[in-house]
Amino acid sequence: MNQPNSHQAVVHVVDDEAPFRRSLLFLLETAGWQAIGHESAEAFLAAPPAFPDAGACLVLDIRMPRISGLELQRRLNAAGSPFPIVFMTGHGDVELAVQAMKAGAVDFLQKPFKDQLFLDTVERTVALSQTRHEAETRRQQARESLARLSPREAEVARWLALGLSNKEIARELAISDNTVHIHRQHVMEKTGIASAAELARLILRADPAGLD
């Protein structure tokens, strides 16, 4: 089964059981995915991979010596890792599954699982990672655009986005209409947008609470 971005997206498999890890890598590669195996959580943390634009996912055994799957998940969450996680276990531990899902895991597979179920889960998880990555990229671009504004321009931008006229903004900030007009021009030039509505969308993209 060939996936649309399988030649670019990457699936990382972290499992200390070498034969099982190799079998998953073979299955993934046969299906057209780039797959990389890691023998332990320590090995993954020692050289954390970059997150590709095409998406990725981390398939993680929950029970491993020294650093467990849950502990690796906790460390990755703390570091702001973009990798969505699919957990695997051979013990069917419901309590561990609940912990993993509460901490943001996408799915929890109980060994042994069917090949197609595994591949479908990987495909769905990678697609989710692409959506998240694209949203985060747009958010960063919006933040970078707004960061070009001076503090006063940022104030004017917020009032503009809330629909106030130049005269109303001048009254709010105790400055002249002409000064507001100049700041408004700078805001539009620096952000590259042409209307208050676009400005509102840009601010909300950077921060959903940006106009509260």
Helix (H, G, I), strand (E, B) or coil at 8: coil
Q: What's the CA gap between 90 and 71, in Å, rounded?
A: 18
Q: What's the CA gap between 166 and 158, in Å, rounded?
A: 12
Beta bridge partners of 110: 89
pLDDT digits (tens, 9 = 90+) for 131-144: 998 999 999 999 99
Q: What is the pLDDT of residue 98?
A: 87
Q: What is the pLDDT of residue 7?
A: 56
Assigned token pair, 19: 């034969």
Residue percentage of the chain with pLDDT more than 90: 80
Q: What is the pLDDT of residue 111?
A: 87
Residue 177 has pLDDT above 60, yes or no: yes
Residues 35 and 29: beta-carbon distance below 8 Å: yes
Residue 92 has pLDDT above 80, yes or no: no
Angle (CA) 176 178 179, round 5°: 65
Assigned token pair, 187: 């805001």
Q: What is the pLDDT of residue 210?
A: 84
Residue 159 has pLDDT above 80, yes or no: yes
Average pLDDT of the segment spanning 16-25: 96
Q: What is the pTM of this model?
A: 0.77
Q: How many CB atoms are closer than 10 A to CB 10?
A: 23
pLDDT digits (tens, 9 = 90+) for 95-142: 888 889 999 999 999 888 999 999 999 999 999 999 998 999 999 999
Q: What is the pLDDT of residue 4?
A: 46
Q: What is the pLDDT of residue 212?
A: 85
pLDDT band at 2 (very low <50, low <70, confident <90, very high): very low
Q: What's the CA gap between 76 and 57, in Å, rounded?
A: 13
| DSSP-assigned letters across all residues of 131-188 | HHHHHHHHHHHHHHHHTTS-HHHHHHHHHHHTT--HHHHHHHHT--HHHHHHHHHHHH
